[in-house]
Homo-oligomer: A and B are copies of this chain.
Amino acid sequence: MPVGTAGTVKAVPQDILEDLGAQIILGNTYHLYLRPGHELVRKLGGLHRFMSWERALLTDSGGFQVFSLSELRKVKEEGVSFRSHLDGTSHLFTPERSMEIQIALGADIVMAFDECTEHPAERERARSSMEMTLRWAKRSKDCFEAHKHEVPWGDRVIGRTEEPVSAQPGAAAVHDSTTKPTTPALFGIVQGGMYEDLRRESAERTIELDFPGYAIGGLSVGESRARTMEMIAAVLEILPKDKPRYVMGVGYPEEIVQYAAMGVDMMDCVLPTRAARHGLLFTSEGRINIKNARYAQDQGPADPKCACRVCSRYTRAYLRHLFVSAEPLAGVLNTVHNLAFYLDTMRSVRHAITLGDLSGILSGSVSLT
């Protein structure tokens, strides 16, 4: 899932996201709550309509952003008080408040309010944090069930376009007439730090709360990649296979292929979009830093195996020129290519799953694009 923090996947117009085949994007509750504000978004018909995005939207709980961005954060049983990174004003996020905000935004998938355990954390700290997340999960669910019908979808005519949702390519998978949701879905989040037994216990007790999908949070916070995989593997043994399994905040292209092969269904990461704005391009030949002087006269595309609108039209020499000249088009084109690379990677994974053989993609012998 491309990340669209503040109601926009940075630098990319929505029609290009559609062309790229993005079926679902992520919005950040913390950012949208602070600006433009969830009440404004609700009043204007919800986030789909506000940003003119007919396909699926997932919002995070706000917990991770408070953890990573806000100032003077203070965690209590009730919730988390913090000061805005924008203007220093004081705010309180609770499970109930997170549900209220996410329902006002009108996401298709709402995330339970959790605490992202810091890394490293002692075992007892990881356990108590996990217990808090479980209590908050229960409160999230109770509040969500009481208010889930209050989404501002209305007749779900999104933005200024008048085509029915199902007429959009890719949208059918998410919103066709048989599966179109009338309320959002709430996913639970597994925590437990870097302790396998705590992760298993967190998974089991989250499943007891009965969610239609489960996320694994608190990973990619500084631990080794081997440790990340151990935690994912331990939790996947327990999470039901017939419900979506979502690893939050990962990862590099080779990682997301591995996790998909392990049984992960959903992932999100700012990497393709954020790296693009720093001139880092993902390609079938590996990562390249487009500002490098070696590309100044390179008339090839960013990725010779990529068929995206950027690789079909522009050279590395031009992309380098845009980047070193700090031209705004650099961010647009680099982001479009990186998203194409990620979405193509996942398309290849889905294709391999359909064929029943992921070995080629995992060994690298089958091109990711």
Q: Using CB atoms and an 8 Å cutoff, list the residues of chain A in contact with chain B.
A: 6-8, 10-15, 35-36, 40, 43-44, 50-52, 159-161, 277, 296-297, 299, 301, 309, 312-315, 317-318, 321-322, 324-325, 327-329, 331-333
Bound-state CA distance A118–B321 (Å) is 32
Shortest Cβ gap from A155 to chain B (Å): 15
Bound-state CA distance A327–B44 (Å) is 20
With A7-B321, A317-B44: A160-B328 Cβ-Cβ less than 8 Å: no
Beta-carbon nearest neighbor of A299 in chain B = B44
Q: With a CB–CB cut-off of 8 A, which chain B residues contact A7?
A: 318, 321-322
Beta-carbon nearest neighbor of A314 in chain B = B52
Contact of A8 among B15, B161, B322 (CB under 8 A): B322
Bound-state CA distance A327–B333 (Å) is 15
Bound-state CA distance A52–B329 (Å) is 13
Copies of the polypeptide in the assembly: 2
Q: With a CB–CB cut-off of 8 A, which chain B residues contact A11?
A: 328-329, 332
Q: With a CB–CB cut-off of 8 A, which chain B residues contact A10?
A: 327-329
Q: With a CB–CB cut-off of 8 A, which chain B residues contact A44?
A: 297, 299, 315, 317
Bound-state CA distance A160–B310 (Å) is 10
With A297-B40, A329-B10: A35-B160 Cβ-Cβ less than 8 Å: no
* Contact B327–A40 (Cβ < 8 Å): no
* Contact A332–B13 (Cβ < 8 Å): yes
With A36-B321, A318-B52, A331-B328: A313-B8 Cβ-Cβ less than 8 Å: no
Contact of A329 among B13, B313, B327 (CB under 8 A): B13
Bound-state CA distance A12–B40 (Å) is 29
Shortest Cβ gap from A26 to chain B (Å): 16
Beta-carbon nearest neighbor of A11 in chain B = B328
Bound-state CA distance A160–B10 (Å) is 26
